[in-house]
Structure 1
Amino acid sequence: MGILEKIAAAGVVGCGGAGFPTHVKLKGQFDCLIVNGAECEPLLRTDRWLMRNKAAELVEAVLAVKEALHIPRVVFALKHHYEEESAALRSAIRAAGAPIELCELESFYPAGDEQTIVYEVTGRVVPPAGLPSEVGCVVDNVATMYAIYESMQDVPFTQKYLTVTGEVRSPVVLRVPVGTSFRHCIELAGGALTNRFYTVAGGPMMGRGVPYEGLDDAVVTKTTSAILVLPEDGYRAGHDTVDICHMLNRARSACIQCTQCTQLCPRHLLGHGLQPHRIMRKLAAGTAVGELLHDSDIRNAQLCCECGVCEVYACPMGLQPRKINVMLKKALRDAGIKYQRTETHWEPNLNRELRKIPTERLASRAGVYQYYNYEIRELLCDTPEQVTIPLNMHIGVPAVPTVTVGDVVQKGDVIACPQEGALGAIIHASITGRVRSVGTSITIVSGE
């Protein structure tokens, strides 16, 4: 079995983003493999832990992918102040005699964005609405590469490394089964410091908000990079509760067309046509959204990477261009309108280097600076008595269950598979036990 077949059999998907099936992503011809260790958002520590403690395994996986796909150049990209991580990787690279480079990035946001990191490492601009493969690159983050290493040992992707931090007693990196409840993870971090709190699945900028009332339904998926416990009356919670209608009304009355959202937009700085201030201007005119969908500026909303720079850092009026872009992207998608490139060459903005946003300053704007310098070195492994494994935790269509209620499964057994010919990933039981329910997720209880 080749490495791509092993990756597919293990059900590996991208661990830090949208969860693109890795065996599909690695199909193609590339001249550069970039291992993303920049850990884009503030507070996240998972990839740093893996680089410090699993450097040899990461190098082994990288070499296997390089050899199997005949990729001439391989680069670990991480931030320059990750000194211990760099030292661990350099040691592992020397020990393996491996032709692997290290690219040390400035500490800016979003350094770990896929298109940004391609430019930082290679100087190539990924085309608007394009993929790194269009410029000969493929990008996988550190946690994904470690899952590839485990797949080489015939170990399926059933355990997830993630950071739990914020308003908890003992911030920690966890290794828990896919399907573990957020509440259980928070308890493993010593519990929350307040009775009620707001949870974010992922980083403080792009993570998915989970209100306190929804905490019992939230579980760790293959793409969960972190669980942040934040104040219920804090910046992030208040930011998430502004509905789109209210935001449109605020945009019409308060947008001063200062252009800061455009000047600091990472996609715009790479030379893409996205200009959030122009989108805000056209919506401020009061024209119905449906009548604007064929406008070129509105169509450019499809280029938004949803990093949140425009609304958390750039806008002096507290408006939310990202939220509006997300709304427009859905409206364009529903209308069947796809982005059409009109240019063939893109040049980064001449001021790009001057407009990089320091991660530490961003953390302050995002209301999480008090947790920014937490030193998280401990790894805690745990197996709960029950897991609820979603069938839709990757790009593509949900997997189809292969088990029924009452079945006894062993950890690592296949419990769901992609539809034939459809984009998806295999899902395995993450604990040993009996299947209690099957629906949009599969619940397994041990000891039954």
Structure 2
Amino acid sequence: MALLDKIYNAGVVGAGGAGFPTHIKLNCKVEYFIINAVECEPLMHTDKYIMLNNGEEIIMAVEEIGKLVGAQHLVIAIKEKNTKEIKHLKAIIETMGSRITLFTMGDYYPAGDEQMMVYEIIGKPIPEAGIPLDVGAVVSNVGSIVNIYDAMMDKPVIERFLTVAGDVKNPTMIRVPVGISVKACIEAAGGSTLKEYAIIIGGPMMGTIIDDHEAEAFHIKKMDGSLIVLPKDHFVVERKRKPIDKIINETKTACIQCRYCTDMCHRYLLGHELRPHKIMRNIGMSDHDEAIMKEALLCCECGICEIYACPMGLSPRLVNVHVKKELYKKGIRPEKGSLDLDVRDMMAYRKIPSYRLISRLDLLQYYGQPIDEHKDLIAEEVAIPLKQHIGKPATPIVAVGDMVTKGQMIGKVERNEMGANVHASIDGTVTGVTEKITIKSNGVVS
């Protein structure tokens, strides 16, 4: 069976971002195939763990994908500070005689943003509203590469490695079945040290926040990489939960038009016409210059503008999110820009040092937390979302009462559709089919 078909059958999606279906992404021919192993969000360790424990699989899969996409250059991007991982991968590359090269990046945020990464590696900025393919590259997360290797072995995506960190008794790396509850993952780390807490699913800059009482109802998806437990009154939590009406009122009363949000924005620095300070002025002055507002569509929501740049503690990112939603309601979408971009001269000097960012986020007490060796979790019940990716949800192909086995397809998309197949992550009986397929274990571990 062809590699793309194996990837489609296995339901592989991007493991480090929004979950772009991989059989669609890799249906191309490019000059550069780039593996994102940077993991620039604070407190996350999952990709580093994968590199140290699945190095051979990564190198083998990258070589095969390189043949598939016809890439002349196979590049693993990794932070230069990750010396142990670099040494490990270099040894494997040499032993296997691989043509893969390592590209080391500084310890800054957002080094893991694919637009920054592509520019640093190949020297070409991606156009506005564009993708790496526009400049002859395709990028995959290191976790996706391991899933592709499994797909080569006819194994579907049914498990996920997770970092569980923050205010937990035993910060831990765990391997879990897709669909396990967030609560079970927190308990695997010994539970929280706090009576009440919030949980960030993903990184503190771009992750989703839920409360402790919601943890049982939220379930791990294919692209989740970490859980970070914090006090409910922590700066990061309160900032992400600020109501939009309060954000807009603060913008109207406190924005001083210093333009730091624009000058620190890496999309702007890459040459894109994204000027958050002008959008803030539009909001603050109750203007509705649609040409200015449409610039918000280029925002990647990295959070530098609100966490690091703004001296007034305002939230240009959340303003952009609000503006984007309003534009989408009107059917307005971003338009792809020109390849002829002028990268701003100051870009090299406006990369955010990770340690300073962690300090701004008030997360220093968790920096360098020792992470226990991984443990495998067994779930008595899983609830597997039919939509774990960009695109359309999978269509259920099982019904309540059906017996399913681990690895069996339970949700399907057609081969050419923007979506991904979904598989049972445990043996058991289907007890619910809604937007999630719920499976109750039969007590047999396979």
State TM-score, norm by structure 2.
0.97
> Per-residue CA shift, 1:15-46, capped at 9, x if unaligned?
11000000100111110011001002011100
Looking at structure 1, the residues matched to 265 and 311 of structure 2 have their Cα atoms a distance apart, in angstroms, of 14
* Cα distance in 2 for residues equivalent to 1:194 and 1:437: 33
Shift of 1:241: 2.3
Contact 1:400-1:419 at 8 Å conserved across structures: no
Q: How does 1:158-169 map to 2 (within 5 A)?
A: 158-169=158-169
Structure 1 unpaired stretches of 5+: none
> Which residue identity does 2:316 align to in structure 1?
P
Instruction: Verify: 1:39 aligned to 2:34, yes or no.
Output: no
Give the paired residue count.
443
Amino acid at match of 1:182: V
Residue 212 of structure 1, CA deviation: 2.6
Is the counterpart of residue 24 in structure 1 residue 19 in structure 2? no
Q: Could you say which residue in structure 1 is the equivalent of 2:8?
A: 8
Distance apart, 1:338 and its partner CA: 2.3
Correspondences of 1:9-408 after superposition (within 5 Å): 9-287=9-287, 291-292=288-289, 295-341=290-336, 343-376=338-371, 378-408=373-403
Compute the RMSD of aligned alpha carbons. 1.2
Question: 1:117 and 1:91 mapped to 2: Cα distance?
Answer: 24
Are 1:410 and 2:405 an aligned pair? yes
User: Within 1, Cα distance between the matches of 2:381 and 2:430?
Assistant: 10
SS in 1 for 2:286: coil
TM superposition score normalised by structure 1: 0.97
1:382-416 per-residue CA deviation (whole Å, 9 max, x = no partner) reads 11111010111110011111000110100000000
Task: Quote the offset at 1:309 in angstroms.
Answer: 0.3
Which of 408, 430, 439 is equivalent to 1:435? Answer: 430
Shift of 1:340: 3.2
1:419 to partner: Cα distance: 5.5
Amino acid of the structure 2 residue aligned with 1:357 = I
**Identity over the aligned pairs, expressed in percent?**
42
Give, as a single letter, the amino acid of the residue that structure 2 aligns with 1:258.
Answer: C
SS in 1 for 2:345: coil
Q: Secondary structure at the match of 2:224?
A: coil
State the one-letter code of the partner of 2:324: K
Deviation at 1:76, TM superposition (A): 0.5
Give the whole-Å Cα distance in 2 for the aligned partners of 1:172 and 1:102.
28
**One-letter amino acid of the counterpart of residue 151, structure 2:** S
Secondary structure, aligned partner of 2:317: helix
Residue 297 of structure 2 aligns to a residue in which SS? helix
Query: Alpha-carbon deviation of 1:447?
Result: 1.9
Q: How many angstroms does 1:73 deviate by?
A: 0.4
Letter in 1 for 2:405: Q
Gaps of 5+ in 2: none
State which drifts further: 129-138 or 206-215: 206-215
